[in-house]
Amino acid sequence: MHSTISVFKKMFLEELWTFIKRNIFAIVLAVTVMVAVPWTIIFILPVAAIFILFLVVTWRLRKASKQMYEEAQRQAGSQQQTRNSWRRKTKEEGEVTVVQTEQTEQRVNDEVGEYVDFKEIKD
């Protein structure tokens, strides 16, 4: 029984060696993949995650910017319509209107500071 196992091992090793000689590229590729996969997980996946995060953030910022721009356009359009409609209602062609502003309070108290008279001297 011992001899059959050793014969089987010998045949298996010979076939394995023959396979390796015929398919050296496949063996090198398999070993490379086995070595590279852990490095791929360590380095490539975080870089891919950062890239995807960058794309998502950029997309959200552009979407928010577009929404703010459209909102500003709507507000500007409604303000323009309000101004034009007010002008149409209050002023007919050939009609003159005088708008008086409210009197504002005096900002500086008269008791603050002093006035100085000066004379101009010619040299």
Q: Tell me the Ramachandran region of residue 119: left when phi exceeds 0, alpha when psi lies from -120 to 50, beta otherwise.
A: beta
- Token pair for residue 115? 């006035």
| Residue with more model confidence, 80 or 122 | 122
What's the pLDDT at 85? Answer: 56
What's the pLDDT at 46? Answer: 82
What's the pLDDT at 61? Answer: 92
| Residue with more model confidence, 110 or 43 | 43
Identify the weakest region by mean pLDDT among 22-31, 53-62, 76-85.
Answer: 76-85
What's the pLDDT at 66? Answer: 93
Q: Which positions ≥6 away from 43 have C-beta within 8 Å?
A: none
What's the pLDDT at 106? Answer: 63
pLDDT tens digits, one per residue of 96-119: 777 777 776 666 676 777 777 778
Answer yes or no: is pLDDT of 11 > 90.
Answer: no
pTM of the model: 0.35
